[in-house]
Amino acid sequence: MPSTPTPARGAPARPAQTDTGARLESRYQMLVEAIQDYAIFTLDPRGNVTSWNRGVGKIKGYAAHEIIGRHFSCFYTPDAVARGWPEFELEQAAKIGRFEDEGWRVRKDGTLFWANVIITALYDEHRNLEGFAKVTRDMSERKRLQELEESSRRMSQFLATLSHELRNPIAPMRNAVNLMRLEGVAVGSAASTTLSHCQAVLDRQLTHLTRLVDDLLDMGRITSGKVELQLSRVELSDIVARAVESARPSLDRRRQQLDLRLPPMPVVLRADSIRLIQVLQNLLLNSSKFSPPASRIEVSCQLEAQALELRVRDEGRGIAAEDLENVFDLFFQSKAGAKVSEEGGLGIGLSLCRSLVELHGGSIRASSAGEGMGATFTVRLPLGLAPAEEARDTRVPEATRQLRVLVVDDNRDSADSLGMLLQVLGHDVRVAYDAEEAMERSSDFVPDLALLDLAMPMVDGFALLRGLRALPEWQHTVYAAMTGFGQPGDRAESKAAGFAFHIVKPVELPKLQMLLAVVESGQLPEADERG
């Protein structure tokens, strides 16, 4: 008699698999429901919402009962709905299987957020479309950072362009003031008091305007990370003396007393002297600006084991408690500022100070007992000795012989005034207003130095340089680029093109004299002019 087959071991496998599948599906649904950083939901083939997770509620603001059954186009801006974008997304997902997009989406409260969206088509075993799975991620913070980076880039470009455009009219005015100064010295006591006064006013205001332009450009460089410190061995007393010299006209105009309380022994720093002078000058001018006439401003220094604190204290209008944390913010303007100071400002100076001090590894802070009680700005810098072989900057003597100089600039006022200034300094000068005229002069005038404006129309300074350098008799001419752009990239471009110097307009008289002396010496260092 045949034996009855016994149930195979594990016969209940099918129910067990069903139970396991149900548990897995339940756990999957629990996992999807628990996710809050992503909005995960499904749509039917027509685009109506059929399921919802907690992340959708967090990101879009709807509860499940408020949205299930509604068309998903309610998440899109009116403009996107009007051009049929939601339907297009579904068509592409159904056609290709998957669609990804980024764009603005709308929350329940009407606010917008930047979303990354992935739509995946869902098919049954017969490849019939059952609907769509949609995953949305809020990318607003990433979008904000991208916009900030783009805004910073555009701001840097704008500041560089603005600086260039402002420097063009400033350059001939500075040349004219330098000419007035030299001619005034030449005629001595015959110079009228009125003209001397006018020259002094122009000099002060041009210095102020140039400083504002420089601050704008420097702030653009700092925000884009393009400032590099030129470190050397410097003494604190030299930094203070040069900063005071720059700020002296403002102090004297207000009859303000400056008290210096510095250590008797030399204090050596490893720092960028020009940048530290800029910091202290800005602090002195800020104190002068917001202090009454005949008041006192004090500069003092306290030495510690590995750092020094340099303080600028004034008797001015002080700083309100709520403004102490904001005074170093870019473009910050105190509401009470106009009541005390007649001078305007861009709200850049203190922000620039903080950035430059922090580049040196230091810090800066403001303190005040309140409005009307004066203010103190404290700069803390690390002490660092330079290597023994590192020497101080030395002054280049003025040229002692007549040089032949060519000036090429399409700005006639700038070209003529610079040519006149060079003639007063005793040099043989030719002026051209474009590249064509410069090439015409090349046959009968070979200069020791050619100053070429870069931003000329038709044929720019770079193309002119290539043409002049191709002339055999011009092989020993020194070429200097003149421009309103002075960022590191601009300098690198002119250096790569073959210019020995990069001169940022307006050209200060001492820098021009130093350039002429270097050309006369024949020892040409790498261009390190600062705008």
Mean pLDDT over 407-430 rounds to 90
SS (H, E, C) 309-360: EEEEECCCCCCCHHHCCCCCCCCCCCCCHHHHCCCCCCCCHHHHHHHHHHHC
Residue 292, preceding peptide bond in cis (omega within 30° of 0): no
Q: CA 230 to CA 243: how far, in whole Å?
A: 18
Residue 399: pLDDT over 90: no
pLDDT digit string (tens) for 110-135?
899 899 999 999 998 888 999 999 89
Q: Which residue has the tokens 């307006």?
A: 506
**Across 380-389, average pLDDT:** 62
CA 30, 32, 34: angle at the middle one, nearest 5? 65
Q: Is residue 255's pLDDT more than 50?
A: yes
Q: Is the pLDDT of residue 13 over 60?
A: no
Give the residue with greater pLDDT, 101 vs 201. 101
Instruction: Return the structure tokens found at 310.
Output: 């340099």
d(CA 47, CA 166): 57
Percent of the chain at pLDDT > 70 equals 78
What integer pLDDT is reported at residue 378 of this predicted model? 93
CA dist 509 and 521 (Å) reads 18
Pick the CATH number of 19-138 from 3.30.450.20, 3.40.50.1100, 3.40.50.2020, 2.40.30.10: 3.30.450.20
Q: What is the pLDDT of residue 70?
A: 92
Those residues with Cβ within 8 angstroms of residue 507's Cβ, 6 or more apart along the chain or in another chain: 171, 174, 175, 418, 482
> Where does 232-382 sit in CATH, by number?
3.30.565.10
Mean pLDDT, all residues of the chain:
80
Q: What is the pLDDT of residue 33?
A: 54
Q: Check residue 208 and give its pLDDT.
A: 66
User: Average pLDDT for residues 266-287, to the nearest whole number?
Assistant: 88
Distances from the Cα of 413 to the Cα of 172, 395, 419, 443, 485, angstroms = 6, 30, 10, 25, 19
Higher local confidence (pLDDT), 119 or 169: 119
pLDDT digits (tens, 9 = 90+) for 174-189: 888 888 777 764 444 4
Closest C-alpha to 132, from 93, 167, 170, 164: 93
Q: Give the residue, 284 or 492, on which the prediction is more confident.
A: 284
Instruction: List, in sequence order, every residue forming a beta bridge with 380; answer none if it has no partner.
Output: 309, 363
- CA pair distance 40, 51, nearest whole angstrom: 8
Which of the pair, 338 or 67, is modelled with greater confidence? 67
Q: Is the pLDDT of residue 394 over 70?
A: no
What's the mean pLDDT in 26-53?
A: 72
Asked if the model's pLDDT at residue 474 lies above 60, the reply is yes
Q: Domain spanning 404-521: which superfamily?
A: Response regulator (3.40.50.2300)
What is the pLDDT, as a whole number, of residue 220? Answer: 63
Instruction: List the strands of the sheet with 307-313, edge to edge.
Output: 257-261, 296-303, 307-313, 376-382, 363-367
Closest C-alpha to 521, from 397, 379, 438:
397
| Per-residue model confidence (pLDDT) at position 339 | 44
**Contact assessment for residue 377 and residue 366, using Cβ atoms and an 8 Å cutoff:** yes
Backbone angles phi, psi at 215, to 5 degrees: -60, -45
Q: Give the domain ranges of the chain.
A: 19-138, 149-223, 232-382, 404-521
Contact 75, 113 (CB under 8 A): no
Q: Are strands 307-313 and 38-43 parallel, antiparallel or unpaired?
A: unpaired
How far does the chain reach from its first CA to its final CA, in angstroms? 111
Taking only Cα atoms into account, the Rg of the chain, rounded to an integer number of angstroms, comes to 35
Among 475, 478, 470, smallest CA distance to 439 is for 470
